[in-house]
Amino acid sequence: MNTLRIKTICIVFTCSVEAVHAHDYSFETFTVIGRQTNLIGEAVNASEGLVGQEELGTRALMRVGEVMELVPGMVATQHSGSGKANQYFLRGFNLDHGVDFATYIDGMPVNMRTHGHGQGYSDMNFLIPEMIDYMSYQKGPYFAEVGDFSSAGSAAIKTKISVDNQLVGVSAGQNDYRRGLFIGSTPFDDGTLLAAVEIQYYDGPWKDVEEDVNKQNIQLKWTKDFDESRLSLNMMSYQNEWNSADQIPARAVRQGLIDELGSIDPTLGGETSRFSLSGSFETPHITAQAYLIEYQMRLWSNFTYFLDDPQKGDQFEQEDNRYIYGGKFKLAEDFILFETLMANTLGIEVRSDQIKDIGLYQAQRRQRLGVIRRDRVEQSSYSLFAQNEAMWTDELSTVLSIRYDFHEFEVRPREVNNQFGVALTQNQGEKEDDIISLKGSLRYQWSEAWEAYVSAGQGYHSNDARGTTIQVDPRTGQSSQSVNPLVRSQGAETGFRWFIEETVNASLSLWYLELDSELLFVGDSGGTEASRASKRRGVELTTYYTINQNWSFDLEYANTHARYQSSTAGESDHIPGTVDEVIQFGFTGNSGTGWYGSSRFRYYSGRPLNESGSVRSDSSSILNLNIGFLYQDYDISLAVFNALDSQDHDIDYLYESQLVTESAPMEDLHYHILEPRTIRIKFLGKF
């Protein structure tokens, strides 16, 4: 038998390996260098990619959630305080805080099911950016290993296992920004122990609200390598408190009541904590992972001011207190059948969210006035997946997979009646649902430089458990329709990838996605809201060009057409908040004499703010700069955020609200402005 050689990059969770398949097996790891990694022969479609720390380290990041903008076409915005999860946009989805895009860090899910603020809530603030080793991303529902929340795509971040030197960093900037950082590793118990600590303070530029961000992150990671396996244990701890300057009504600025950096309710904010323990064991054929997460959050918001309660105001508190535990077991085995090399994967995945307290309360100045609804929820899922990759010829290969997901929901009210006299016990209950997803891809490699892809697949996202059992609206006592527990998506994609070593890495994708009709549970109101079936299509182009050994250029372009599937003639079909066009480009330079720098420009188009499309937001543009000097073991850099001091909006909404000076509600534009030009200095020493 001839020796066959296949190289596999384990995109989702595991390290990248290269294996020789014959009568024996051998492993060797390689360094992920990011955008210039050649994925021809490895990727399932053209919109798949890798990003390494080398590229991440050159970017200016105002918030850690902005690492998600390394996914081409992804926009990360913020409409509230720095401690809250970012709001994301991708492929015609207003992802809110994460629904329909699945995110994992060291194998642990970031998306929160049945979250107190919003389904799929993805808070990245527990991640230390300098600890990222690499991030892999995938778009579309074509991948067997990811299920819930992955219709638009998914990303998996792998943190480092060691550093060559101990790192100590301090940062300072405008608006009382201060940050301290330590990362170090040492041999421990025949393995390597890596420790990282981050402390950050920030007041923000807002006129009548000091954000007073107080964030602490700790990560301890122990890794031990054996002959052909790796054992890893990981502890992460995160705490944060902050005040919020939320979106503001445009009429309040026009009337001179506040300026664009002002607030209507200056008593908003939040506090959250996350503690996790996780472990993994990896061999050439087996990957086993387990995790336990403790999570708490309290969030105070007020989007309508005095609309519902003209005397006490509309501030509300959302609470979430839970444990999450789960894991994954995956078996990979290759064999030759009919002279065709087959790479096969079988896996099982389990997750359980034990939410002991999830509540929505009316509040005033962060003091609870009454219960709107308060529940105890258990939501568990059990998943099986299988994948077969067949290399039919040297040029042609296929990837076929199937995934089965079973979810069970149990909702038990913690309060019998709420402040409106509604019997909350009517909303208790249990639900079960399952779904089978089929996925397939065809890959044809024309040459070492060109590859073409065709993919199709089914995906889904789960809905908030409280919506699956709801019978009455907790605010009105009127009958309320329950939501579908699991919502189907299906899509297809074709594309090309072009790779010229040391020079060009480019891809082009044409894609289509449908999402089934559904109702949504809205955490801000405690009730359900109608949403129709939708369809999206688009084109994406990414180009990464190495000009010479000192300079590189990248361009990412995404154009999307997103519409509801109208049920009646003449019915409005715009999907509010969807981004039609995203352009990002940048230059990265390294002089070779110690100087380095990068510039990043991001543009996203105006968005329809209502279903008729008659009201649209303006487009938004921002330029960030980063310049640094590396001398021996010392690194000093200067980051300039919003370098052109753009006054564009970070986010826009259209809805009714009422100011204290008004006797009736008004529909108005509500927005959050980009933070003004901000300068920060960072010093990093290696010891």
Q: Give the pLDDT confidence score for residue 10 in this predicted structure.
A: 36
- In tens, the pLDDT along 286-341 reads 999 999 999 999 999 999 999 999 999 999 999 999 999 999 999 999 988 888 88
Q: Give the pLDDT confidence score for residue 335 in this predicted structure.
A: 86
Least confident stretch, 5-19, 254-268, 483-497, 577-591 = 5-19
Residue 20 pLDDT class (50, 70, 90 cuts): very low
Per-residue pLDDT at 526 exceeds 80: no
Per-residue pLDDT at 26 exceeds 50: no
Least confident stretch, 182-186, 189-193, 478-482 = 478-482
Residue 567 pLDDT class (50, 70, 90 cuts): low
- Please count the structural domains in the chain: 1
Tokens of 92: 């015609």
Rounded to the nearest angstrom, the gap between the alpha carbon of residue 271 and the centroid of all alpha carbons in its chain is 20
- Percent of the chain predicted with pLDDT > 90: 80
Residue 514 pLDDT class (50, 70, 90 cuts): very high
Q: Give the pLDDT confidence score for residue 22 in this predicted structure.
A: 32
Per-residue pLDDT at 14 exceeds 80: no
Per-residue pLDDT at 414 exceeds 70: yes
> Per-residue DSSP letters for 160-195?
-S--SS-EEEEEEETTTEEEEEEEEEEEETTEEEEE
Rounded to the nearest angstrom, the gap between the alpha carbon of residue 95 and the centroid of all alpha carbons in its chain is 9
Three-state DSSP state, 250? helix
Residue reference for tokens 């397939």: 440
Three-state DSSP state, 569? coil
What pTM value is reported for the model?
0.92
1-16: b or e for each residue (b if 16 or more CB lie within 10 Å)?
Answer: eeeeeeebbbbbbbbb
Distance CA(129)–CA(136), nearest Å, equals 15
> Once rounded to an integer, what is the mean pLDDT over residues 652-673?
95
- In tens, the pLDDT along 464-509 reads 999 999 999 999 999 998 999 999 999 999 999 999 977 999 999 9
User: Which class for 432: exposed (0-12), middle (13-18), buried (19 or more C-beta within 10 A)?
Assistant: exposed
Q: Give the pLDDT confidence score for residue 41 in this predicted structure.
A: 87
Domain that holds residue 457: 4-686
> Once rounded to an integer, what is the mean pLDDT over residues 78-107?
91
Tokens of 372: 């709107």
- Percent of the chain predicted with pLDDT > 70: 93
Per-residue pLDDT at 9 exceeds 50: no
Per-residue pLDDT at 8 exceeds 50: no
Distance CA(669)–CA(398), nearest Å, equals 49
> Once rounded to an integer, what is the mean pLDDT over residues 181-208?
96
Q: Give the pLDDT confidence score for residue 33 in this predicted structure.
A: 55
Q: What is the 3-state secondary structure (H, E, C) of 43-87?
A: CCCCCCEEEEHHHHCCCCCCCHHHHHHHCCCCEEECCCCCCCCCE
Report which listed range, 35-39, 42-46, 141-145, 498-502, is most confident.
Answer: 141-145
Residue 528 pLDDT class (50, 70, 90 cuts): low
* Mean pLDDT, rounded, of the chain: 91
Per-residue pLDDT at 23 exceeds 60: no
Tokens of 570: 């003449």
For residue 267, how many C-alpha atoms fall within 13 Å in the half-sphere facing its CB?
11
Per-residue pLDDT at 25 exceeds 70: no
> Once rounded to an integer, what is the mean pLDDT over residues 165-194?
96
Amino acid identity for residue 91 in this structure = R
CB 251 within 8 Å of CB 668: yes
Distance CA(510)–CA(91), nearest Å, equals 11
Q: Give the pLDDT confidence score for residue 34 in this predicted structure.
A: 64
Q: Give the pLDDT confidence score for residue 374 in this predicted structure.
A: 96
Tokens of 379: 């939501």
Three-state DSSP state, 69? helix
Per-residue pLDDT at 279 exceeds 50: yes
Least confident stretch, 16-20, 134-138, 473-477 = 16-20
| Cross-strand bridge partners of residue 501 | none
Per-residue pLDDT at 7 exceeds 60: no
What are phi and psi for residue 70, nearest 5 degrees?
-70, -15
- In tens, the pLDDT along 341-389 reads 899 999 999 999 999 999 999 999 999 999 999 999 999 999 999 999 9
Distance CA(62)–CA(159), nearest Å, equals 20
The CATH number covering residue 112 comes to 2.40.170.20
Q: Give the pLDDT confidence score for residue 4 in this predicted structure.
A: 33
